[in-house]
Chains A and B, each alone.
Chain A
Amino acid sequence: MADRLAMYIDTSKCMACRGCQVACKQWNDLEGYIPGERETHNTGSYENPPKLDPQTWTRIKFREYDDGERFQWLFLKEGCMHCGDAACVDVCPTHALKHGPHGIVTYERDLCNGCGYCSQFCPFQIPQLEVINQVTGEAKSSKCVFCQDRTLNGLEPACVKTCPASALAWGNRDDILAQAKARVEALKAEWGFPQANLYGEAQLGGLGRIYVLTAPTAAYDLPEDPAYPVISTLWQKVLKPVGQIVFAGTIVGAITAFFIARRNVRMEEVE
């Protein structure tokens, strides 16, 4: 897709101010700290909140990494990867999740019925299910949508707009890739990061987030080679078409058998 857009995330520039987290909440009208209702807390680190949740679509993940020669405090901006081959889109029975324009995996909250398949099939476990009632199953999913209301109108996402360190950028994916590759080379050659690498170019049909990392992917707890779930392929591409053929075949077979039987069965012989 030539007009695919992507987010550039340079972890070497990120200073973990978490302005992106705040801007995301502000633009998308997500809840932050509400005294007595929604507390935030640190968990042995400056990480806060401790994980993505239905009201937190992006956050900075903190990791400590020692390669034997020196120590690095790693900051990784987490959120939906907007995969080229997105399992969440394929398993969503309501089409609330779709491949939108420019490769953005869009989400329409109104259409979501809360089945939660997206949260269970995402290789990165990004979509967060807000369970309103466990017994009735009432729930809503949520995830980063690259500020689809901004980006589909020519603006950049709120997090990119607010980043004071220029660790984030937004633009054509090919341009972003070129920028990221150049930055990785510069980090290796000039800035003393021999393990610098690029993440997101080819994984899962190419990610919508292009990361410049200064340490191996494992140090960020990122899957080295995230795989599209095999069960999703079997379920969507094999089981569902087969099921529909079986149902249609059974109905057609029964109707045909009925008309043949009606001609052949002599009711006077039926007990």
Chain B
Amino acid sequence: MSVRLRGSDSSISIRWIPKYTTLERVLHWVHTASFVPLALTGFVLFAPWLSSVAQSAAGVHIRLIHRIAAIFFGGVPIVYTLLQPRRMWMNLKEFLTFDKYDLLWLKGAIPYYVFGRHGDMPPQPRFNTGERLTAVVMVLGTMVFGVTGLTMWFLKGIMPTWLFQLMVFFHDLMFIVTFAMFMIHFYLAVVHPMMWQSLVSMRYGVVSESYAREHHAMWYYGEERAKKLWEEHKAAAEKH
């Protein structure tokens, strides 16, 4: 795509690279639109200081909203698996692949995201370490929420009380993990100045060539070349 600069003859050309399918983007936003009400209505029952909101008819409605949102939240992976099973499987495999570059990413994350030191960031595939960790936690969370939520919903009074108590505990434990992770995800994807294209990619499904090169070098260059460039960059940095 080329953009003509206003009041001049020059133009800049941006090459956009597809990252997400339309279905993936739609499901991402359904996931978000269901997770946020789930988290907020769950938080009302979680935080003792919000008890006034959890009481009587308000509480009944909060529990109802939680259940309606849960259907959409649980429906997202099912719809994705049914409609794009190969994409789902491909992404899942990528989410679960970690190597030594992920340790380097974790080491370089704070210097990079907080202090803007670009040189500290090792090359990354289509999803960086943080994104993959987020995805793994969310996949795990969906499974735990599914099992604990459905049993609490339909088997209360039928299953043994000790089992119900464990379900409540693990539901809340997973809530803490996923909600904290969601806040970090929101900060990096929406608020952080360097990551402005992540929101663009979830809106339009594409990232610019320069963004892909900077943030996902292994995807852009291919794994081998990206690693070679990284080693060269490191060697050059050491010389100086």
Binding site for B on A (CB under 8 A): 93-96, 110-117, 119-121, 125, 129, 131, 134-138, 229, 231-232, 234-235, 239-240, 242-244, 246-247, 250-251, 254, 257-258, 260-262, 264-267, 269-271
Whether the pair B67, A112 counts as a contact (CB closer than 8 A) is no
In the complex, the answer to whether A260 meets B115 with C-beta atoms within 8 Å is yes
Contact A231 B168, CB 8 Å, known A115-B45, A250-B183, A258-B187:
yes
Find out whether the CB atom of B56 lies under 8 angstroms from the CB atom of A111: yes
A261→B192 contact, CB < 8 A: yes
Asked if B59 is an interface residue, CB under 8 A from chain A, the answer is: yes
Which residue of B47, B55, B176, B194 contacts A246 across the interface (Cβ within 8 Å)? B176
B226 at the interface (CB under 8 A from A): no
State how many angstroms separate the Cβ of B12 from the closest Cβ of chain A. 13
Please determine whether A94 and B55 come into contact, CB atoms closer than 8 angstroms.
Answer: yes
- Contact partner of B213 (CB less than 8 A), chosen from A135, A258, A271, is A271
Task: Using known A-B contacts A243-B46, A243-B172, determine if residue A265 contacts B51 with beta carbons closer than 8 Å.
Answer: no
Candidates A93, A120, A266; contact of B45 at CB < 8 Å? A93
Closest A residue to B211 using CB positions: A271
Measured CB to CB, the closest approach of chain A to B111, in angstroms, equals 10
Of the candidates B44, B113, B175, B213, which one forms a contact with A257 in the assembled complex, judged by CB atoms under 8 Å apart?
Answer: B113
Which 8 residue pairs spanning A and B have beta carbons closest together?
Answer: A113-B59, A265-B116, A271-B214, A231-B165, A271-B210, A243-B176, A254-B187, A264-B116
Contacts of A114 in B (CB 8 A): 59-60, 63
Q: A93-B45, A134-B154, A235-B168 given as contacts; is B179 within 8 A of A247 (CB)?
A: yes
Bound form: Cα–Cα A157–B58 in Å: 32
Q: Is the CB of A243 within 8 A of B175?
A: yes
- Once A235-B172, A267-B193 are accepted as A-B contacts, the answer to whether A120 and B165 lie under 8 Å apart by CB is yes
Provide 19 A-B residue pairs closer than 8 Å at the C-beta atoms, listed in order of the A residue: A93-B45, A111-B55, A111-B56, A113-B58, A114-B59, A114-B60, A116-B156, A120-B157, A120-B165, A131-B157, A231-B165, A231-B168, A239-B169, A242-B176, A246-B180, A257-B113, A257-B187, A260-B115, A266-B116
B48 at the interface (CB under 8 A from A): yes
Residues of B contacting A93 with CB < 8 Å?
44-46, 48, 51, 54, 59
12 additional A-B pairs beyond A120-B168, A137-B63, A137-B153, beta carbons within 8 Å, are A113-B60, A113-B62, A131-B157, A137-B64, A231-B162, A239-B173, A240-B46, A240-B172, A246-B176, A250-B180, A260-B114, A269-B116
Count the A-B residue pairs with Cβ separation under 8 angstroms: how many?
A: 141
Across the interface, which residues of A come within 8 angstroms of B116, CB to CB? 261, 264-266, 269
Q: Which residues of A contact B191 (CB under 8 A)?
A: 254, 258
Chain B, residue nearest A239 (CB) = B172
Per the 8 Å Cβ criterion, residues 48-84 of B in contact with A are 48, 51, 54-56, 58-60, 62-64, 67
With both beta carbons as reference points, the residue of chain B lying nearest to A234 in the complex is identified as: B169
User: Digit string of B192-226 for contact with A (CB within 8 Å is 1, else 0)?
Assistant: 11101100000000001011011100000000000
Which chain B positions have C-beta within 8 A of A95? 51, 55
